[in-house]
Amino acid sequence: MKDKKKIILTCSECLSRNYVTNKPSSNTSRIELMKYCPKCNKHTLHKETK
């Protein structure tokens, strides 16, 4: 079984931290996903935080 890192996704517009997910530790690139932001009340780009 491969190791996974726990990451936090942050809204690019309001900067609220909305989602926690896992990604493989072998993946070094940052994740960017379109997710729903409850604070903005719309779908926005969410980026992985440090």
According to the model, what pLDDT value does residue 1 have? 59
Which residues have CB under 8 Å from 41's CB, separation 6+?
A: none
Q: What is the pLDDT along the chain (50 residues), one digit of tens a residue?
A: 578 899 999 999 999 999 999 998 888 899 999 999 999 999 999 999 97
Domain ranges within the chain, ordered by starting residue:
4-48
According to the model, what pLDDT value does residue 28 have? 86
According to the model, what pLDDT value does residue 14 have? 96
pTM of the model: 0.83
According to the model, what pLDDT value does residue 37 have? 96
Q: Which CATH number fits domain 4-48: 3.30.450.20, 2.60.40.10, 2.20.28.120, 3.40.50.300?
A: 2.20.28.120
- C-alpha closest to that of 44 among 21, 12, 16: 12
